Amino acid sequence: MTAIEILGLEKTYSVGFWRKKPKCALKPLHLRVEEGEIFGFLGPNGAGKTTTLKLLMGLVFPTAGSARILGMEVDDPRMKAQIGFLPEQPYFYDYLTARELLNYYGQLSGVASKERAHKIDEVLQRVGLPEVGGVQLRKFSKGMLQRVGIAQAILHDPKLVFFDEPMSGLDPMGRREVRDLMEQLKQEGKTVFFSTHILSDAEALCDRVAIIHKGELRGVGAVADLTSSVHGKVEIVWQGTTVPSSLRALGAECHVTGDTVRAVLSEANQDSAIEALRRERLRLISVIPVRTSLEDYFVQKLQPSEAVAGVRS
């Protein structure tokens, strides 16, 4: 079943106080996310990720287009009882303690009062804050608030969660924990839709990703499919300090360190490069494929079109 269906969703803000100028934050976006997926919504800062999530949460209204979540309209309370949302850089009522906040949100989400205390304990444990439930949120650090944000998003056991930059503000351990948590959520049969500008976070985790830049969708698909279209690279290392000129002509990036040279070049030119080294009688040490990653795809997708053409030629 389809968890999220976005049909031509579009948002233009008008900015400026006096003479309002239109600012297109999201060009018509079409996207489907299936139930049970971890879906990564990737793009650099200002790409339109937060705007998309705010549109889906009904916090801002679209200029055009529509979306359905779990088969329902975006303002349907029955749907909202089944989703969780972590905003970007979340901020909460700072006069409440973490436990009071979660209790209030549990009430609003319709969690029965009998279950609430138990669920709050469980979720605080899960996000790694079991000891600070009674502390007022104004005393929380940024990373702790991020964890509270995750806790409130999963408190009511939603079917579908939306995380906006879930790893931001967390230390490396915290990032790891959040990654594990998202995997657990998938294991529990939930759908996870999250945005990030950090590719390595998405690469290991997502079933599928969408890449968005300047409000425009640049690609959707499984990580493996997307990266397979990117030309791979190899790293060739040999002994010596000389770089044959024919190698430079192949577009190799060469680095001389001590008495070895390391050259990185396109996979397609691998054979001619080795050929050139043989002709010069240089001693080959290694030929290793450089792992092609989402990053390469990303870089390629975000370059202006002429630069992409240059890479291809």
Partner 1 sequence: MTGRIVHIASNTFREAVRDRVLYNLIAFALLMSGAAILVGQISIEIERLVVINLGLTAVSLFGTVIAIFIGIGLVSKEIERRTLYTVLSRPVRRWEFIVGKFFGLAGTLVVNAFFMAIGVFGALLYVSRHFQRADSWVLVALYFIILEFLIITALALLFSSFSSPLLSAVFAFALFVIGSFAEDLRGFAAMTHGLMRWLATGAAYLVPNFSALNVISSVAHQQAVSRELILYNTAYALIYATMALCGAVLIFEHRNLK
Ligand X SMILES: Nc1ncnc2c1ncn2[C@@H]1O[C@H](COP(=O)(O)OP(=O)(O)O)[C@@H](O)[C@H]1O
Please identify which residue in 107, 184, 200, 286 interacts with partner 1, judged by CB under 8 A: 107
What is the DSSP secondary structure assignment for residue 274, as one 8-state letter?
A: H
- Letters for 61-90 (x = contact with Mg ion by CB under 5 A, - = none) are ---------------------------x--
| Interface with partner 1, residue 78, by CB under 8 A | yes
| Interface with ligand X, residue 49, by CB under 6 A | yes
The H or E element spanning position 68 is strand 64-69
| Interface with Mg ion, residue 52, by CB under 5 A | no
Using the minimum distance from each CB to Mg ion, give the nearer residue, 196 or 269: 196
Alpha-carbon separation of residue 121 from 115, 134, 155, 216, 261 (angstroms): 10, 11, 10, 41, 57
Residue 273 near residue 265, CB atoms below 8 Å: yes
Angle between helices 172-187 and 142-154 (to 10 degrees): 0
| Interface with ligand X, residue 25, by CB under 6 A | yes
Residue 46 partner contact from partner 1, Mg ion, ligand X, none using kind-dependent CB cut-offs of 5 to 8 Å:
ligand X
Please identify which residue in 8, 15, 239, 310 interacts with ligand X, judged by CB under 6 A: 15
The H or E element spanning position 174 is helix 172-187
Per rule CB under 6 A, count of chain residues that contact ligand X: 12
Judged on CB neighbours under 10 Å (0-12, 13-18, 19+), 20 is: exposed
Alpha-carbon separation of residue 57 from 83, 110, 262, 291 (angstroms): 10, 18, 50, 37
What is the DSSP secondary structure assignment for residue 291, as one 8-state letter?
A: P
Q: Which stretch binds ligand X (CB under 6 A): 30-38, 46-54, 137-145, 251-259?
A: 46-54
Measured over the CA atoms of residue 140, residue 141, residue 142 and residue 144, the dihedral's sign is negative
Residues 171 to 200: which contact ligand X by CB under 6 A? none
Q: How far apart are CA 282 and CA 298, in angstroms?
A: 36
38-42 and 208-213 as β-strands: parallel, antiparallel, unpaired? parallel
Using the minimum distance from each CB to partner 1, give the nearer residue, 85 or 297: 85
Q: Which stretch binds ligand X (CB under 6 A): 42-50, 138-146, 234-242, 250-258?
A: 42-50
| Interface with ligand X, residue 46, by CB under 6 A | yes
Own/partner contacts of 126-130, CB < 8 Å, gap of 24 or more, are: 126/151, 126/154, 126/181, 127/151, 127/177, 127/181, 128/174, 128/177, 129/98
Q: Which stretch binds partner 1 (CB under 8 A): 34-42, 79-87, 172-180, 223-231?
A: 79-87
Please identify which residue in 52, 109, 146, 227 interacts with partner 1, judged by CB under 8 A: 109
Using the minimum distance from each CB to partner 1, give the nearer residue, 75 or 180: 75
Under the rule (CB under 8 A), what is the footprint of partner 1? Answer: 13, 54, 57-61, 77-78, 80-81, 83-85, 87, 90-93, 95-96, 104-105, 107-110, 149, 152-153, 162
Under the rule (CB under 6 A), what is the footprint of ligand X? Answer: 13, 15, 23, 25, 43, 45-51
